[in-house]
Structure 1
Amino acid sequence: MMKFKPKVAKHIPIKTPSMHALDHFDFYYGPLFGKKWPSIRLGLLTPKKFVAVLNRFSHDIDVNENILQDLGAQDLMQILRKGFVYVKSMDKGTNNDWDLEADQISFERNLQNEPDETDDFDEEKSFRTSAGLKEFRRPSEVFEFGQDKTNMSDSRDIEITGLEGMGIQLEKVDDFITIPNALKVYTYDRTWLNDYPTPVKDDNGIYSWWLLDGGSIIPVLALDLKETDSVLDMCAAPGGKSLLILQTGCFDKLTCNEVKMSRLGQLRRALANYVPDDDPIVEKVILKRKDAASLEQWDDIAVYDKVLLDAPCTTDKLSVLQDDENLFSSSMTQIRLDLPATQTKLLINALRSVKVGGTVVYSTCSLAPNQNDVVVDNAVSIAESKFGIKVVEKSLALETKLVSSGLYRFSTNCHRGHLILPFLPSNFGPMYICKLQRIK
């Protein structure tokens, strides 16, 4: 009788999407951030630190604020004001109940950034980083998909290669940000790991506060909101930043856009949980459903004073912490690879949407240059060559002042914008912010 040796299948450990994400980040971000990468990596793998945004629309706002203070939380807005240079207050005297004072805070630009620590592998670094290239009250207006009648031929001819921004010269000017007095955001001191209690509801079912990453408030502050502004939140769901804008009261009209119906429903529920449907502010909110990444269909041309584009991205922290809907899963590879092109189209449309003199704030939750400053360069270049739009970058010089609070840490690698890095003592971010002003 012949004997056969049983075949044993070779066992290859199956990697989860979050494991693939971490491998990817080690390969690309390691050379990019050098000796700082282990600290950033540990921050990514550690649950983020939240801040609690106090809801002005709750009838129990004073009680809710006392609860947060009794827990030892401090008003982050007051912390950020300390040591800042007072410039002026916003104009007052309107009949609007939401006429709020706001200090305009001047940020002195830090021209002497400490050089980043790097290792001796410039060639490998260059290779890796370049390759890493309840329902809300019915709104006063609802918009559906439209067709862009302007520059249609130009829009159809545009192909995003990712190289459009090479060598671009973009003027940079100093700027300030506005911290509205109405906005109250509470945070624990650095190194505190306390959790916030579950938000409570008032008699109308309106929640007391909600939690945000501490980095997520900076793009909204960078908008420098005024009470006369028409504001667009271009990719608004799940609604955290839209709610933050609502808390300031510094706008005349707020348009919240989201292309996916499921996410638009998520946005409506968020608004309904935090804003009473009989509040006058509701009349200032417009819900819109359009594909903001379509250069052909987007037809909101030069109609907004301020545009916030919190773009879809790899969301680096979530990518290494959870596997559900992870962009590093094999089924979502193409979506992930297409992100820079999608982000570029979104930013081009944001620049088309804003009036001359208005500003666009672009933000992501990614550390990747090809989703951050590279996208800015490419979008600015295409906007100028195809649509005749010219912009300047407004440097907020955030590093000097926010770092002094002990709650924020910034990268020195960005040639454009600002990048908040996660680190254990105060685990905010990652959050990339770049402010652009349209001048033509």
Structure 2
Amino acid sequence: MLRVRSIVLLPRRWKSGAKKRWNVLQNKKNNCDRALENFDDFYGSVYGSRWKNMRAALLTRHKYIALVNNFGDTEQTCSMLEMDGAINMKSLINLAQERLKETSSEPMPAQGQSRHEIEGKLDTLLRKQQEREVSSIYPSLGDDGLPGTLPQQLKFDNLEQKPKDELQEILPFEQSLTKALEEDVRLDENRLVDPQFGTGGLYEYMPAHSIKGMEDWVAESEHYKYYQTSADFPLKIEQETSFQYPEHLSLYTYEMGNCSDFKAPKKCLTGVLSHFMMDGGSTLPPLFLQVQPGERVLDACASPGGKSLVMLQTLHVDQLVCNDIQESRLNKLRKVMQEYLFDFKERWAGKRLIFSQSDARNLGDYDSFDKILVDVPCTTDRHVLNEQDNNIFKPTRIKERLRIPELQAGILTNCLRLLRPGGSLVYSTCSLSPIQNDGVVHMALQKAFAEHNITATIKDLSQQTALFSDVFKFEHPKGLKYGQMVVPYLPANFGPMYFSKITRNS
């Protein structure tokens, strides 16, 4: 009698074109991979050992802040958030102000006092580089357990005893750099980042139209060819002495180290949503803009609307113009405003809140705005590391990405013209790039003076950011020339958010 045996078919990967295609798909880089590779190279050279912690935070889900809607059930919403353990940022600011008064009566040093000393640092940079190279070869401790010293033969105190051929090789650093450039040496293998000032040297960027071939990314060594340490335009940096937290603005956060989630917004009796959740760093640019009652305000790149909503929730804005370049972005902005502003069509649209669709570089209502928020398009560092969609590191968007600094400088320059004399703006990005941050501010100030004879004053916000030190981690001020920046940090995983406050001179 014959027995029927069961047959088990095992899948087999055949040695054919299918296998090759499968391997190709597995090894193919996606948009987030390209972004991470670019940041590792760029930010690793700019921020050094600190980039490791920033990188970990960027790859981790970020932290939110809850903006309470004044047009909903305000008291109930505040009570609900406080019951969940959230803290009103206003109370943290008050505590910080009291603490600063008790601990120090001396004014904080001005940001500009130490940020124009980069000239003459190249020799210091070379010496530090030599010390690092020597320390990597020789142990840091001697046989007796005490700090070791350099071998005698490495101390070139008496150059006259050196052979003539060796003396010819010992050149000043500037001459060595020039010689290396002439010999077409690849400088990106030894990046020149000032160890004291960090990103201070990157005030310039290379225009995208001068990049042959539009490579996937530009080596940081290329940017130093355009480095200029002195400004050829009038520049004044002064302390911002006043800051007033808006009385009616309620922002809630969890303490540093607490990454709890907020409850989802719910509909109030007035038909609007109770609170709006946003990255905490995004609340600072509109806060430091210090909108006052009766002022006419422009949000030059307003979508998706969080920063505009913060300004409206202060109840200070007399008229807010929300501009963006695409209709789809404006529709997203309108949707946010309809969800959070009571009686939107009758009380707001077209009256106190005006929507404008235009390229911010072409807005022409000059000398008419008291305050402007310039939150420009950028590489959106956190987004591109975590989302494949709408990723600026997509291969087909290389040219667009390389032209970002030019776009940003064009927007900021035009917004300086839109300000009335004496008015202020805040320029901001959600990028760690010193080129998109200090570099663009430098280029815009230079362009505004050269083409329109506009001069401006940079407002140092060091004293103001100190009030928020219990909530955010800020970049060391000596690493920046024109602004301040919230850096990603796991216990306070906000940002990145760079912001610079500029006042147009009369």
TM-score if structure 2 supplies the norm length? 0.71
Letter in 2 for 1:43: A
Of 47, 54, 58, the match for 1:40:
54
Q: Is residue 202–residue 227 contact of structure 2 (8 Å, CA) maintained in 1?
A: no
Higher strand share: 1
1:406 to 1:259, Cα distance in 2 relative to 1, 3 A: closer
1:251 positional shift: 2.1
Of 62, 66, 77, the match for 1:52:
66
Question: Which residues of structure 2 form unaligned runs of 5+?
Answer: 1-14, 100-104, 116-124, 133-186, 194-198, 211-222
| Whole-angstrom CA distance in 2 between matches of 1:398 and 1:325 | 37
Of 402, 421, 439, the match for 1:356:
421
Q: Is residue 164–residue 378 contact of structure 1 (8 Å, CA) maintained in 2?
A: no
Of 34, 37, 41, the match for 1:27:
41
Is residue 392 from structure 1 mapped to residue 406 from structure 2 by the alignment? no
Identify the residue that residue 187 of structure 1 maps to in structure 2. 253
SS of 1:179 mapped into structure 2: coil
1:39 to 1:399, Cα distance in 2 relative to 1, 3 A: farther
Deviations 1:324-356 (A, max 9, x none): 010001011111111000000000111010000
SS of 1:366 mapped into structure 2: coil
1:372 to 1:346, Cα distance in 2 relative to 1, 3 A: same
CA radius of gyration, larger in: 2
| Whole-angstrom CA distance in 1 between matches of 2:272 and 2:469 | 35
> Quick check: 121-130 or 226-235, which moved more?
121-130
1:406 to 1:224, Cα distance in 2 relative to 1, 3 A: closer
Q: Is residue 110–residue 460 contact of structure 2 (8 Å, CA) maintained in 1?
A: no
Is residue 16 from structure 1 mapped to residue 65 from structure 2 by the alignment? no
Is residue 284 from structure 1 mapped to residue 352 from structure 2 by the alignment? yes
Q: How does 1:204-215 map to 2 (within 5 A)?
A: 204-215=270-281
Letter in 2 for 1:57: F
Is residue 61 from structure 1 mapped to residue 74 from structure 2 by the alignment? yes
1:361 to 1:369, Cα distance in 2 relative to 1, 3 A: same
| Whole-angstrom CA distance in 1 between matches of 2:16 and 2:377 | 50
Instruction: Count matched residues.
Output: 387
Letter in 2 for 1:19: D
Identify the residue that residue 177 of structure 2 maps to in structure 1. none
Q: Is residue 164–residue 377 contact of structure 1 (8 Å, CA) maintained in 2?
A: no
SS of 2:39 mapped into structure 1: helix
Is residue 252 from structure 1 mapped to residue 318 from structure 2 by the alignment? yes
Letter in 2 for 1:70: M
Is residue 293 from structure 1 mapped to residue 361 from structure 2 by the alignment? yes
Question: Which residues of structure 1 form unaligned runs of 5+?
Answer: 87-105, 134-157
| Whole-angstrom CA distance in 2 between matches of 1:209 and 1:6 | 57
Identify the residue that residue 325 of structure 1 maps to in structure 2. 390
> Quick check: 64-73 or 5-14, which moved more?
5-14
What's the % identity of the aligned pairs? Answer: 33
Is residue 237 from structure 1 mapped to residue 250 from structure 2 by the alignment? no
> Quick check: 316-325 or 199-208, which moved more?
199-208
Identify the residue that residue 199 of structure 1 maps to in structure 2. 265
| Whole-angstrom CA distance in 2 between matches of 1:209 and 1:235 | 22
1:50 positional shift: 0.4
Q: Is residue 297–residue 372 contact of structure 2 (8 Å, CA) maintained in 1?
A: yes
Is residue 83 from structure 1 mapped to residue 96 from structure 2 by the alignment? yes
TM-score if structure 1 supplies the norm length? 0.81
1:264 to 1:240, Cα distance in 2 relative to 1, 3 A: same
1:402 to 1:24, Cα distance in 2 relative to 1, 3 A: farther
Letter in 1 for 2:352: K
1:110 to 1:403, Cα distance in 2 relative to 1, 3 A: farther
Letter in 1 for 2:92: I
Is residue 377 from structure 1 mapped to residue 390 from structure 2 by the alignment? no
SS of 2:235 mapped into structure 1: coil
SS of 2:192 mapped into structure 1: helix
| Whole-angstrom CA distance in 2 between matches of 1:255 and 1:236 | 9
Of 475, 481, 494, the match for 1:428:
494
Of 45, 48, 72, the match for 2:85:
72
Q: Is residue 237–residue 457 contact of structure 2 (8 Å, CA) maintained in 1?
A: yes
Identify the residue that residue 108 of structure 2 maps to in structure 1. 109
1:406 positional shift: 4.7
1:409 positional shift: 2.8
SS of 1:39 mapped into structure 2: helix
1:389 to 1:132, Cα distance in 2 relative to 1, 3 A: closer
Q: Is residue 399–residue 409 contact of structure 1 (8 Å, CA) maintained in 2?
A: no
Is residue 167 from structure 1 mapped to residue 230 from structure 2 by the alignment? yes
Deviations 1:117-137 (A, max 9, x none): x9948973338996994xxxx
Q: Is residue 343–residue 375 contact of structure 1 (8 Å, CA) maintained in 2?
A: yes
1:367 to 1:399, Cα distance in 2 relative to 1, 3 A: farther
Q: Is residue 232–residue 304 contact of structure 1 (8 Å, CA) maintained in 2?
A: yes
Identify the residue that residue 214 of structure 2 maps to in structure 1. none
1:72 to 1:324, Cα distance in 2 relative to 1, 3 A: same
1:27 to 1:408, Cα distance in 2 relative to 1, 3 A: same
Deviations 1:124-177 (A, max 9, x none): 3338996994xxxxxxxxxxxxxxxxxxxxxxxx99989697621621010033
| Whole-angstrom CA distance in 1 between matches of 2:462 and 2:271 | 40
Deviations 1:159-210 (A, max 9, x none): 9989697621621010033310110000011111211111000133200001
SS of 1:392 mapped into structure 2: strand
